[in-house]
Structure 1
């Protein structure tokens, strides 16, 4: 069942410098990376926004919003997305996680807790702010970060009272982000 109080936000505006090509367009198992993110979100919500500065992403049936602040990284992408949503929550996904699925995303949804503004996964002592559920309340903190030129995403997330959900080793494969050709080869071999 879809949740009317959550918007899916796909961040597709990164430079993909380590990959050397636009990661959103890489094909894995018959779909582009961005299509994998969108498909996982479609099981959760019908309200999806793509944050991208390229009109190439207009081919999807969802609204595309450019970063309001250019060259500021994921902080600007999340800010642009949170500013655009009409729902209370947003699931933020980067577009470089082709194994993501609704099973994992539902763990975020089921962990909603009014005491926390961000629900994110943790695996091997690392948090996943680019696979996380954000409350709209975080918008002001992202705006503050932009106004004060704070580019580091984890610094902003830490001001938002995050809750970490420990992810099992079995489920960690689903949140693996692909940054290099070697990363891609590893998931293709498995």
Structure 2
């Protein structure tokens, strides 16, 4: 049996979404901030959790909050911030706008984690870089990519040792629903009620 890799979770809650018109993580879904659903699922996994956000309102969740070290670099900047603020061997990066996520799906992904390999899910053949585990040994490469403006997360995953896990999506298809617009928010509210 392989030794478990120490992993720390970082919730990416970057800021105002142009399509949503406000901060997605703090947008209410059935009366609760969207990020709270992600935090609840993570709390059941027992791994340490931190938030990457530039809005101090996230401190109300009583979880460590870090601002982007390098501003306006998207998820790659968030990944660099996460890798810079962990003492674990790898970080699990998850977006704040996945309110249907379950602890079971997170735990299933964690079972594939390693010290040298990125682990990500694929959804309908596409890699989801914001439900993925990144080893800390890649920090220098992330920093280099930011310097060079090479910010595409899927390229980064494919150009390094990686494992793609489609089976999680087959078992939990609804959890990978991102909420980017007010219309998607309404649909997700209905779906959330249907699943409960």
Q: CA deviation at 1:69?
A: 0.8
Q: How does 1:44-59 map to 2 (within 5 A)?
A: 44-59=45-60
Kindly state the Cα deviation for residue 152 of structure 1 after the two structures are TM-superposed.
1.8
Give the RMSD, CA atoms, in angstroms.
1.8
2:159 partner SS? helix
Q: Match of 1:105?
A: 106
Q: Which runs of 5+ in 1 are unaligned?
A: none
For structure 1, which segment, 74-83 or 170-179, has the greater mean C-alpha deviation from structure 2 after superposition? Answer: 170-179
The alpha carbon displacement at 1:113 in A equals 4.3
Aligned length: 187
- The equivalent of 1:33 in structure 2 is 34
Q: Residue in 2 aligned with 1:117?
A: 117
Give the TM-score normalised by structure 2.
Answer: 0.87
Structure 1 runs of 4+ aligned residues shifted over 3 Å read: 167-170
CA distance in 2, matches of 1:156, 1:15: 25
Partner-residue secondary structure (3-state), 2:129: strand
SS of 1:119's equivalent? strand
In structure 2, distance between residues paired with 1:83 and 1:160:
19
Separation in structure 2 between the aligned mates of residue 121 and residue 14 of structure 1, nearest angstrom: 24
Q: Using the TM superposition, name which of 171-180 and 43-52 deviates more.
A: 43-52
Q: Is the Cα contact below 8 Å between 1:121 and 1:131 reproduced in 2?
A: yes
SS at match of 2:158: helix
- Deviation, structure 1 residue 52: 0.8
| Counterpart for residue 72 of structure 1 | 73
Matched residue, 1:7: 8
Partner of 1:96: 97
Partners of 2:131 and 2:31 in 1: how far apart?
A: 22
Q: Is the 8 A contact 1:117 1:138 kept in 2?
A: no
Q: Indicate how the Cα distance of structure 1 residues 160 and 96 shifts in structure 2: closer, same or farther if over 3 A, else same.
A: same
2:126 maps to 126
- CA displacement at 1:157 relative to structure 2: 2.2
Matches within 5 A, 1:75-86: 75-86=76-87
Distance 1:107 1:98 in 2: 18
SS, match of residue 18 in structure 1? coil
- TM-score normalised per structure 1: 0.90
Check conservation: 2:54, 2:68, Cα contact below 8 A: yes
Indicate the residue corresponding to 1:164 in structure 2. Answer: 164
1:126 positional shift? 0.9
